[in-house]
Structure 1
Amino acid sequence: MKRVLALLAFTTLALAQPKELRLYTWTEYIEPAIISDFEKATGIKVRISYYESNEELLAKLQAGGDSQYDVIVPSDFIIPAMIQLRLLKPLDPAKIPNLKNLDPKFKSPPFDPGNQYTVGYLWGTVGLMYNTQVFKTPPQSWAVLFDPAQQKGRFTLMDSQREMLGIGLRYIGQSVNSTDTAALKKVIDLLLQAKNSKNSLGFQGGVSATKLLLGNQAVAAVVYNQDALRTAGGNPKYGFTIPKEGSTLFLDNMAIPARAPNPEAAHRFINFILDAKIGARLANYQNSATPNAAAKPLMKPELLKNPAVWPTEAQMKVLEFILPQGEKDKLYDEAWTRIKSR
């Protein structure tokens, strides 16, 4: 009888711990072999769904997605809204021993003090990917998009609110975090002019933008450096640059939705990604900078020396992290709505 009860208890426990993890992340944002290795190491099957913008991710969570996924990968600036809306579950540091590998620069970020809800995944920049057969030298200014006289062909803008508004703000000499209404009005006019240009292919996600470049349908695109480097694959026909006016930095993070079906598996996955060797593989695959200090020495040397991956000191001076502006964030929402609807 005791054996029967023990067997029933074991079976009940096994049923109570689903062997599946649902990952909701950016398109092409993790090496497939890393997923396979996690599945082999844990016996947990991973199902992946994709999104193309932080706004799409937030809308999905608000529509009930916080109960459909176990791990998500939001960017820094969208996280305060997710916390305020109670869409994220607090992390249990005891279940993530590899947190020790996180670079001190990325611990306790301003958008999530104490890493209560998030932990860094990868970081990078937004810049301009271009066709080197059209641009014989790297474009020096965002004017190749914003000044009709300097446009050299079809181009795409980034379909991401704060990044695209931030680039516009940098172009007119403002901080990416400016909430000055006069400056935002100038940016609205600037982006509307670019959007409605005869050369514009509109607002695109990173994957679609790079495909347009590869298909010779565009000569320039505003993209994340990771998308540019991964897509170009060393092909000298394509380059990536940060124009002199500057741009935005981003830190993407791992988080667990508030009603995640399998938070235990989520913690195991986050800890797995924070392993030094796995972190280096992830960064190498994405051609990306990593917030994992233990992983950095294991990365490909050529990536560590590439300013498109690790910006120079001069570039860092004109790059800014996007910061939440509290109630004034609605100014960005209103500006973006006006741009997208006209």
Structure 2
Amino acid sequence: MLKRNTSVALAVALGSLTLAGSALAEEGKLYLFNWTEYMDPEIIEAFEEKYDVEVVQNYYNSLPEMFAKLNAGGVSQYDIIVPSNYYVPRLIETGLVQKLDRSKLPNFANVREQFQDPSFDPGSAYSAPYQWGTTGIVYNTDTFPEAPKSWSLMFDPEVNGDYPFAIIGDGQVAMGGACAALGQPYDCTGLDSWREAARLMIETKNRDNFSGFTDGTPALQQLARGVTHVGMSYNGDYLYFKSEDPESFENLAFMIPDEGAEMWVDSMLIPSEAPNPDLAHKFINFILDAEVGAQLSNYNYYASPNAAAEPYLDEVLTQPPSQPSDADMERLRFTPSLAGEQLQTFQQLWSEVQAR
């Protein structure tokens, strides 16, 4: 789920979607629909060479965008999609994806035990893990040399002071943070908890130093420039930009609040009418190879769900913040998948937060 979605990437993505919509699927081609900048080009080249095929990559910048494209006929245009965990049940329930043929995925045995039977897809009937990571707080250590390991750095004006801050634009993740700040579980779903969290969000966004709803990559860019002093982002993006520009990120730190935060898993699924499902299974099995899985994580700076990949991982991926501490792991929760009336209620609350 690499969120390095700059305006250039967005333009490329939209162009790719247009092309994909007008192209007919062909044999000998794998159609991959993925987040922007979330795949090592050398992995694609190796797969193409091994199977003598062409991989056609198309991109999305948000899960709603991906979901809408599938509903508009994309189920017959793509062979692989890479959604986040809380969209997987929605894709299954709406019939947009098909079950995996595990006999074609011998490398699934490489998957860590904790990812083989996820709550969002029991028994991994439809999904195979791609990458996983966490969503936390990134802050300026010069501004907050004794920062509490807490959501209060963002939601409590007495702790934050007058320093500019941003909150992530994903409604469920943002509201999860607000729930945790109020002493509720990050993955709260009760209406009363949501209402309380929505009130906190409205109070927070109406503070003079709130700079707006800003997603992972732009949030990191604002922090690096000193436009904001606190923001929400992803551990892999943080590590990537820190490696690319260590000077600008020297005074920025990533933390998982003690009240709890998001752990997410991006998985590979096959759309229900995929043009080349056999080739899709070959691709999934290829990614689940030990060395390929490590190569993917070494490129993305996100943790690998592949136990067999461990010996090949770069050192930075074997320690925090890529690998959370045992204590932090206990505090991490999946963002819940919502459907039906519950989803509608949440969307209404989030719309109110954004409007007020």
Where on the TM-score scale, by shorter chain, does this alignment land: which range?
0.7 to 0.9
Change (3 A) 1:193 1:105: same
- 5+ residue gaps, structure 2, are 1-23
User: For the residues of structure 2 that align with 1:134 and 1:36, how far apart are their CA atoms?
Assistant: 45
User: For the residues of structure 2 that align with 1:17 and 1:50, how far apart are their CA atoms?
Assistant: 19
Identity of aligned residues (%): 38
Equivalence for 1:9: none
Equivalence for 1:144: 153
Equivalent residue of 1:239, what SS? strand
Question: Normalising by structure 2, what TM-score?
Answer: 0.84
Equivalence for 1:70: 79
Give the CA deviation at 1:289: 1.8
- Per-residue CA distance 1:4-60 (angstroms, 9 max, x = gap): xxxxxxxxxxx9962322222222222222222222222322232322332332222
Between 1:169-178 and 1:39-48, the stretch displaced more is 39-48
Supply the AA of the counterpart residue of 1:277: E
Choose the corresponding residue for 1:318, options 331, 336, 340. Answer: 331
Give the count of matched residue pairs: 327
- Per-residue CA distance 1:242-289 (angstroms, 9 max, x = gap): 122221111111111112222222212111110100111111222222
Equivalence for 1:10: none
User: For the residues of structure 1 that align with 2:67 and 2:300, how far apart are their CA atoms?
Assistant: 23
User: For the residues of structure 2 that align with 1:147 and 1:16, how far apart are their CA atoms?
Assistant: 52
Equivalence for 2:92: 83
User: For the residues of structure 1 that align with 2:74 and 2:216, how far apart are their CA atoms?
Assistant: 23
Change (3 A) 1:139 1:34: farther
Equivalence for 1:38: 47
User: For the residues of structure 2 that align with 1:302 and 1:62, how far apart are their CA atoms?
Assistant: 39
Counting only pairs closer than 5 Å after superposition, residues 101-140 of structure 1 correspond to structure 2 as 101-140=110-149
C-alpha RMSD of the superposition: 2.2
Give the CA deviation at 1:237: 2.7
Supply the AA of the counterpart residue of 1:313: D
Between 1:199-208 and 1:221-230, the stretch displaced more is 199-208
User: For the residues of structure 1 that align with 2:220 and 2:31, how far apart are their CA atoms?
Assistant: 27
Supply the AA of the counterpart residue of 1:223: S
Counting only pairs closer than 5 Å after superposition, residues 108-257 of structure 1 correspond to structure 2 as 108-151=117-160, 152-233=162-243, 234=246, 235-257=249-271
Bigger-Rg structure (1/2): 1
Asked if 1 retains the 8 angstrom alpha-carbon contact of 2:316 and 2:322, the reply is no
- Are positions 1:308 and 2:321 aligned together? yes
User: Which contiguous aligned blocks of 4+ residues in structure 1 show a shift greater than 6 angstroms?
Assistant: none
Change (3 A) 1:61 1:140: same
Give the CA deviation at 1:183: 1.6
Question: Normalising by structure 1, what TM-score?
Answer: 0.88
User: For the residues of structure 2 that align with 1:223 and 1:230, how far apart are their CA atoms?
Assistant: 12
Give the CA deviation at 1:153: 2.7
Equivalence for 1:4: none
Asked if 2 retains the 8 angstrom alpha-carbon contact of 1:123 and 1:249, the reply is yes
- Are positions 1:262 and 2:273 aligned together? no
- Per-residue CA distance 1:221-243 (angstroms, 9 max, x = gap): 21121111112225423211112
